[in-house]
Amino acid sequence: MAYLMETRPDLMTGLRVDMALLPAGDIPLGGDGRWSISRPKRHVIVYRLPIERLTRLHKQDDWHRRNNIETTVIEAIADLLAMDPYDLAPGRYFPHA
C-alpha cells in the first residue's frame, strides 16, 4: 500500500484496504477468494488465510511470502479500479516470482 500511495496518489485517494482472517457471509469474492471489493465505497478487503493457504510458492522464504502478499494487494486494488495490475504497479508487480 505504501508503494502505491507514493507512486499513484491520484488513484489511492479515498481508497481503503483492510485485512481480515476469512470472508464473512455472502459477499462477492475476487482472486479465488483472496479478496473482496466494494467499488462504491472504494474499499478492498484481503483475506489472510486464503492468501496463505491457496498460494503454492515455489520457494518458501520471506521474500517470496512478502511478494505474494504484495502481489495480491496490487491485484485486488487493480480489480477495484478496473485496471491491469501491470499498469497499476509497473516494475513492482511480479505475479510469478
Residue 97 confidence (pLDDT) above 70: no
**Domain extents in the chain:** 2-88
Q: Is the CB of residue 68 less than 8 Å from the CB of residue 55? A: yes
* Residue 33 DSSP code: G
Neighbours of 85 (CB within 10 A): 20
pTM over 0.85? The answer is: yes
CA gap 25, 4 in Å, rounded: 29
Q: What is the pLDDT of residues 35-90, one digit of tens each?
A: 999 999 999 999 998 888 877 776 777 877 888 888 999 999 999 999 999 999 98
Half-sphere exposure of 82 (CA within 13 A, CB side): 3
Quickly tell me which residue has 502505491 as its cell: 4
